[in-house]
Amino acid sequence: MGKVTIKDIAREAGVSISTVSNALNGVNVLKPETREHILEVADRLHYIPNLNGRNLKSKATKAIGLFVTSLKGPYFATLADIMVWECMKYGYELNIFVFWEGKSAITNILGKRVDGCVVLAADIDEKGVQQIQDFEVPTVFLDRELKSDKISSVIFDSYKDGETVAEFLIERNIKRICFIQGILNNYDAIERFRGFRERLAKADIPLDPEYVLEGAFEREKAYNAVKAFLEKGLPLPEAFFAANDLSAIGCMDALLEAGYQIPKDTVVVGVDDIDFCEWYNPKLTTVKTGYEKQGVVAIKKLVKMISGEEKGDITKLHGRLIERQSTAITE
Amino acid sequence: MGKVTIKDIAREAGVSISTVSNALNGVNVLKPETREHILEVADRLHYIPNLNGRNLKSKATKAIGLFVTSLKGPYFATLADIMVWECMKYGYELNIFVFWEGKSAITNILGKRVDGCVVLAADIDEKGVQQIQDFEVPTVFLDRELKSDKISSVIFDSYKDGETVAEFLIERNIKRICFIQGILNNYDAIERFRGFRERLAKADIPLDPEYVLEGAFEREKAYNAVKAFLEKGLPLPEAFFAANDLSAIGCMDALLEAGYQIPKDTVVVGVDDIDFCEWYNPKLTTVKTGYEKQGVVAIKKLVKMISGEEKGDITKLHGRLIERQSTAITE
DNA sequence: TTCTTTAGTTATACCAATATAGTATACCCT
DNA sequence: AGGGTATACTATATTGGTATAACTAAAGAA
């Protein structure tokens, strides 16, 4: 069996387990030749330390847990990848746990005693949040606004992102606008819509309820919604704003299929800046949310909370509009 | 502090720690009222079991580790998501560990003593593989062919997938073909190319080295390669076969940009069947590799190896060609 | 010479749980 | 009453490490 322990090494090397532990942890109190001998034996026996044993005694695990309810979605991989590298910088390891309903999941994850948690779980309930708070492990939430001594949030300023798109359209004197909603109870979707709507209202541009469609952040749903909308024969909107890029793509699919030209007949704007924006024809104008920065900021913040240098706070990241072909109106 | 242990519960409930353990683990030897009292106390104190302690004593962790070197790539999320749900079915939990060079990573992961491992790490070196083998923990490799008592492989029959595309083109009497390679030392890329080339050779269709381009599985690289190729002014290939969908998309971008029409002037085939195949214009003909099945088979196999019901073996999943617009030749 | 210091190593408590063996009490049977 | 047997619970060893205190032997100082 591959279950070699320090006890086995101690026996084989003819020393005590304390000496083995010292040798392995680089505590500089051993004779170099003893140390080297032990390391040689450990290597020969294919020793791999049992982290359960180690973490039981020493409080620090040097691991950060990333809680998610889903691995899907266009930017999860990018975000998680950034966090992996950021963790490495600070000497931490990122472990990803997929989280589903039921308290056992939270229990399992907190039970591992990671040094800190990053939570990206829009659909986690209040009880779950409470459990995390009670456990008092430093935590960063990525999709809800919470703050306490050991809890921070690093979220998008989605309200402002919505405003940004509104201003972009207002500047171009566009008035008849169709909005494609995201997931209805999603924080970002709600804020994006609110910012957009309120900024339009300030410019006296009303948003007709018939011009608000359901997209649910999915390409297919948005495609169907826009297709159904077009068949109603209402006046074609001068612009479509979709709550994320996937639904913007579905929207464009439906428009192109119906024979409309983008941006000649109508313009389209999305949110996220996923890779496909550059690959689609026409290339999609979108709000690049701060999600790449989010990973960096979240880990930095978490590490500082773990070390006790900083207390929890709230960081809001605003996006930046990237103009591409889908809004390239030739005057 | 949220560090409540069974000792605290024992004290608070006025029983021994053994009784607490029994109550929590549902061993049915306690008086119902004792049991309920203990559970009530545990709940009140916000008890969360320390898995390090638990896993130290009891060998089974009920966790499966997924090793990956990167979270990126078009199908990782889908594959991992499937595995999460499969694990749940069997009562396991999937923990994802991102793995980078250096032995410490493998050590860290194996050190957690998961019950089994799934490895998706094309760029892991022989030493790493050896370490995993030495540790004798049930393992399924997803991108290399290995087999022993405790090691299985669930891989694509990429050789056959290459043949499939060759046959598709041969049937259509296509002779001048351009191949866009994947990552050069990648197993699937190599096999796909080998199967393709050898099947063409059987039909006496040579593959001119000038018609073999570097795509590295990336859209950008393929785009540049095809663009450079087109500028050389060689006779336009009747077909392009790219080692994956991303490079097929790069290829189509370059072709469309140069003014060629697909499939009228030339046809394009990819491999993977990522979502974008359906969204691109024209929709991309591709080989849907067995990657969705891969997750299901891998977890099933792993669970049976863990329980000792089955020994390691090799499963090869072959793909299926899905015809779409990019090869819709009108006679 | 005797005491102190220091380098190098060891013994042991401890972490939080599980598992096994053991104990006390009540009950049953002849 | 004595012996057997459930029932309900407890004491304790164990797991693989770390950390602290303790020990030993040799060197240095008074």
- Give the pLDDT of residue B143: 85
Nearest to B93 among A52, A108, A131 (CB): A108
**Site of tokens 């570097």:** B214
Q: With both helix axes pointing from N to C terminus, report the angle between A291-307 and A76-89 in degrees, rounded to the nearest 10.
A: 40
CATH class of B63-157+291-318: alpha beta
- Give the pLDDT of residue B26: 82
Q: Is the CB of B6 under 7 A from strand C?
A: yes
Four-residue CA torsion sign, B183, B184, B187, B190 = positive
CA-nearest residue to A52 within chain B is B52
Between chains, do A50 and B71 touch, taking CB under 8 Å as contact? no
As a whole number of angstroms, the distance between CA A287 and CA A274 comes to 10
Q: Which residues touch strand D (CB under 7 A)?
A: A 3, 5-7, 17-18, 21, 24-25, 47-50, 52-54, 56-58; B 15-19, 22, 29-31, 34, 53, 56-57
Range list for CATH 3.40.50.2300 in chain B: 63-157+291-318, 158-289+322-327
The string of pLDDT tens digits covering residues B12-70 is: 999 999 999 999 988 778 899 999 999 999 999 999 999 999 999 887 888 999 988 88
Averaged pLDDT, A237-252: 96
Note the CA–C1' distance, A249 to C27, in angstroms: 77
ω into A49 cis (within 30 of 0): no
As a whole number of angstroms, the distance between CA B38 and CA B51 comes to 19
Q: Is the CB of B147 under 7 A from strand C?
A: no
Between chains, do A52 and B49 touch, taking CB under 8 Å as contact? no
Asked if residue A327 has pLDDT above 90, the reply is: yes
Chain B residues near residue A112 by CB distance under 8 angstroms: 51-52
CA-nearest residue to B275 within chain A is A219
- Give the pLDDT of residue A133: 84
As a whole number of angstroms, the distance between CA B100 and CA A294 comes to 22
**Which pTM was predicted?**
0.85
Asked if residue A331 has pLDDT above 60, the reply is: no
Chain B residues near residue A136 by CB distance under 8 angstroms: 1-2
- Give the pLDDT of residue B1: 47
Note the CA–C1' distance, B33 to C28, in angstroms: 25
Range list for CATH 1.10.260.40 in chain A: 6-49
Four-residue CA torsion sign, A224, A225, A226, A230 = positive
Averaged pLDDT, A210-215: 96
CATH superfamily for B6-49 is: lambda repressor-like DNA-binding domains (1.10.260.40)
Whole-number average pLDDT of chain A: 91
Averaged pLDDT, A272-298: 92
Assess if CATH 3.40.250.10 describes domain B158-289+322-327: no
**Site of tokens 């989010």:** A294
Range list for CATH 3.40.50.2300 in chain A: 63-157+291-317, 158-289+322-327
Provide the token pair at A200: 């339009």
Q: Is the CB of A59 under 7 A from strand C?
A: no
Nucleotide whose C1' lies closest to the alpha carbon of residue B7: C16
The string of pLDDT tens digits covering residues A75-119 is: 788 899 999 999 999 989 898 988 776 556 677 778 877 899 999
Note the CA–C1' distance, B294 to D15, in angstroms: 36
List the beta strands (DSSP E) in B177-308: 177-181, 212-214, 239-242, 267-271, 285-288
- Give the pLDDT of residue A209: 96
As a whole number of angstroms, the distance between CA A223 and CA A209 comes to 18
As a whole number of angstroms, the distance between CA B327 and CA B331 comes to 12
Q: With both helix axes pointing from N to C terminus, report the angle between B126-135 and B103-111 in degrees, rounded to the nearest 10.
A: 20
- The strand C neighbours among B residues 28-57, by Cβ under 7 Å, are 48-50, 52-54, 56-57
Q: Is the CB of B58 under 7 A from strand C?
A: yes
Averaged pLDDT, A36-52: 93
Strand partners, B148: B151
As a whole number of angstroms, the distance between CA B20 and CA B23 comes to 5
CA-nearest residue to A63 within chain B is B108
Per-residue pLDDT tens, chain B, 331 aa: give them.
458 999 999 999 999 999 999 999 887 788 999 999 999 999 999 999 999 999 998 878 889 999 888 888 767 888 999 999 999 999 898 989 887 765 566 777 788 778 999 998 877 778 778 888 888 899 999 988 899 999 999 999 999 999 999 999 999 999 999 999 999 988 889 999 999 999 999 999 999 999 999 999 999 999 999 999 999 999 999 999 999 999 999 999 999 999 999 999 999 999 999 888 988 889 999 999 988 899 999 999 999 999 999 999 999 999 999 999 999 986 5
As a whole number of angstroms, the distance between CA A215 and CA A272 comes to 15
- CA angle A317–A319–A324, rounded 5-degree value: 165
* Assigned CATH topology for domain A63-157+291-317: Rossmann fold (3.40.50)
List the single protein residue with the shortest CA to C1' distance from D6: B29
Q: With both helix axes pointing from N to C terminus, report the angle between B17-24 and B32-44 in degrees, rounded to the nearest 10.
A: 90
- The more confidently predicted of residues A173 and A75 is A173
